[in-house]
Each structure stands twice: as C-alpha cells, then as structure tokens.
C-alpha cells in the first residue's frame, strides 16, 4: 500500500468534507421540506442537499484520483477496477436533517483491498472534524484521542444501529428490547457515523450493530479501532474486511465479554 496516496487522500477528503459541510449547514438553516423524496418503502429519504453535497465530494475525488473506484450513497458505483475504493455518504442522517434535527454528518472513507485505511467524518453544526488513518490514530479537530482505560458503569450506555431494511424483524426487535431494558440508555441517533465517533471519543460504552452495511459504516469503524476499541461479530470473532450483512459489537477490549453476553441473552430470549 502506498502511504503517500493515503496522505493525499486524507488531505482531499478533509477539504471535500468541510466544503460539503458548509453547504449542508446553509441548506439546513433554510430547510425546505418540499425538497424531500422517499428512496424506498423503508421510509428512507433523500434530499437535494444529499445530491449537492455529493457533487462537491465526488468532483474532488475524481480530480485527484481519477482511476479509483467510488461508491457513493446517491450516485452509486462508478465500477472502475481498482484496489482503492472510496465510500461516500454525503449526508449521514438525512432523515434527521429533513425534520430539522441537528444530528447529521459527512462521511468519506478510503479502502485498500477491502480494508479501511483512511476516514474523515465532519459534523457541520458543531464544526467537529474526525480523522483516522490506518496505524495513524484517531483525531478530533487535530487532537489525538485514545479510549484508554474502560470507564466503569453500573449500566452501560449503548448505541444501536440497524439497517433500513431490518424494520421490525422479530430477532432485531427482541435484541433491541433486551438492550433497552438492561442498559442505562440505548441510543438510536439515525446518524451512525456520529455514534461511531462518540464511541471512539469514549462517550459511549459500546455499539451493537444489526445488519447495517453501507457507505457510512467503515469510516467510524476505522476511528474506533484507531482509538483502541475492538470490533467483533456476535460470537466475538474479530471483524475485518467488508460484509454485506454485518452483525457487530464494538467496545473497549476489556468490556467485550460483558457485551457478548448481553447480546447473546437478548437473542436467545433470556
């Protein structure tokens, strides 16, 4: 892997995320509900803001890396053959954006041979820029952050992320209810990158993810890993690469047995 490409990609991603974020902030402040459209039967939305922010990001990536494959939330796959793959979610939290809830972000990830090597998440309304690079650490507005020692808890604060198509699948509902009843708080922000960023900063104790794969997934995962967190499947096996149907636990390594048990009991109905 060419680390000079990763460094240049990070520079481009930061510029693209910030520019797209400035646009999103302006559009959010003059919100127009007539610009919303339903993407599918799951109720997921797309707005003109998604398309305009995406155009900014894709233009910068294409100019700097014309031979790289890019998969973006709205534009889809450019289908170029390359070891390098960009994943772009120009507006993670579109449904929040559409109802005037200030919880959304821009997410840009670079993969090399199906492993995340660089990620940028930008939260426009708070001007928080999160960055991570493989073996380069996790930073928020330039400050290096590590999860460090696990914080003690009597009841954990857990982020829940599920795919749009999961809806009311009974297995997911059972696990969700168990987490809600056995944690201090189960958070569902409908902006997954913000939850991953919170875990990387140590503001959450864990994330439980249920079949939610997409352009917004791998940026936050890289940040959690670079902060010192661990990501496994529900059986405790380390998660690497990419998956079409991921079922994941992310937390401090010392807390993994606890959260594995919590998930197991939720799935078997204990």
- 205 annotated as belonging to a binding site for a ligand: no
Q: State how far the Cα of 31 lies from the Cα of 48, in Å rounded to an integer.
A: 11
**Sign of the torsion formed by the C-alpha atoms of 42, 44, 45 and 51:** negative
Is-contact 252 262, C-beta < 8 A?
no
Show the tokens assigned to 202: 């140590």
Phi and psi at residue 252, in whole multiples of 5°?
-65, 140
Phi-psi region at 146: left, alpha or beta (left = phi > 0; alpha = psi -120 to 50)? beta
Q: Is 169 annotated as a binding residue?
A: no
89: annotated binding-site residue? yes
Q: Check whether 216 is labelled as a binding-site residue.
A: yes
28 contacts: CB under 8 Å, gap ≥ 6:
49, 97, 100, 102, 104, 124, 125
Exposed / middle / buried, residue 34 (Cβ in 10 Å: 0-12, 13-18, 19+) = exposed
CA–CA dist 42, 190 (Å, integer): 13
Reported residue count of the chain is 270
Q: Does 91 appear as a known binding residue?
A: yes
Beta-sheet strand order (sheet of 137-140)? 76-77, 69-72, 84-92, 105-112, 115-123, 128-133, 137-140, 143-145
CA distances from 109 to 13, 121, 215, 217, 253 (A): 8, 9, 8, 9, 24
List, as residue ranges, the binding site for Mg(2+): 73, 89, 91-92, 216
List, as residue ranges, the binding site: 73, 89, 91-92, 216
């Amino acid at each position: 892997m060419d680390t000079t490409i990763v460094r240049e990609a990070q520079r481009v991603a930061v510029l693209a995320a910030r520019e797209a974020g400035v646009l999103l902030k302006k559009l959010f402040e003059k919100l127009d509900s007539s610009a919303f459209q339903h993407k599918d039967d799951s109720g997921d939305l797309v707005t003109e803001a998604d398309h305009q922010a995406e155009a900014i990001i894709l233009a910068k990536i294409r100019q700097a890396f014309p031979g790289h494959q890019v998969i973006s939330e709205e534009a889809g796959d450019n289908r170029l053959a390359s070891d390098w793959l960009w994943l772009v979610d120009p507006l993670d939290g579109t449904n929040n954006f559409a109802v005037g809830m200030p919880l959304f972000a821009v997410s840009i990830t670079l993969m090399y041979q199906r492993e995340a090597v660089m990620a940028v998440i930008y939260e426009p309304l708070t001007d928080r820029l999160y960055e991570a690079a493989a073996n380069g650490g996790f930073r928020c507005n330039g400050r290096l952050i590590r999860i460090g020692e696990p914080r003690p808890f009597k009841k954990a604060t857990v982020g829940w992320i599920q795919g749009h198509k999961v809806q009311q699948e009974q297995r997911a509902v059972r696990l969700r209810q168990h987490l809600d009843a056995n944690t201090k708080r189960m958070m569902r922000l409908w902006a997954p990158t913000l939850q991953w960023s919170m875990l990387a900063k140590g503001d959450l104790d864990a994330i439980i993810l249920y079949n939610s794969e997409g352009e917004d997934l791998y940026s936050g995962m890289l940040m959690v890993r670079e902060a010192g967190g661990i990501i496994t499947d529900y059986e405790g096996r380390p998660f690497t690469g990419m998956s079409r149907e991921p079922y994941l636990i992310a937390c401090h390594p010392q807390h993994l047995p606890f959260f594995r048990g919590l998930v197991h009991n939720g799935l078997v109905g204990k």
